[in-house]
Amino acid sequence: MSILNRLFPDRGAQEDEVRKAYHLLFNSVHGQKVLAHMLAELHFFDEISTEEERILSNYAKRLLSNVGAWQGMNVPEVVKALLRMPITPPEED
């Protein structure tokens, strides 16, 4: 048993509670806008060119994991969502 599990035996339950809170928070219309902004600020959608950007992008993935969206079991849904995107960007006005 790890030291963290011995110090915090109900840690798994606490993590589940926090994950549910993240999911509820970011599942609202406003929460989704905030999450999209945060992901953009964390270089999630960018090609990474610096160590700082890599660290921020990894944090974005951790944030999505906390929300429950970036997990191995969600791979098919993530791929389907990406493929629903238009291949060419919409024309600007």
Full DSSP string of 41-75: HTTTTSPP-SHHHHHHHHHHHHHHHHHT-SSGGGH
> Is there a domain that residue 32 lies in?
yes
* 3-class SS of residue 39: helix
> Is there a domain that residue 90 lies in?
no
> Is there a domain that residue 88 lies in?
no
> Which structural domain, as residue segments, surrounds residue 44?
11-83
pTM score > 0.95 for this model?
Answer: no
Q: Which residues contact 41 (CB under 8 A, 6 or more apart)?
A: 56
> Is there a domain that residue 75 lies in?
yes
| Banded model confidence at residue 65, pLDDT cuts 50, 70, 90 | confident
| Banded model confidence at residue 72, pLDDT cuts 50, 70, 90 | confident
Q: Summarize pLDDT for 34-60 with one digit per residue, the tens.
A: 999 999 999 999 999 999 999 999 999
Domain count, the chain: 1
What whole-number distance in Å separates Cα of residue 77 and Cα of residue 81? 6
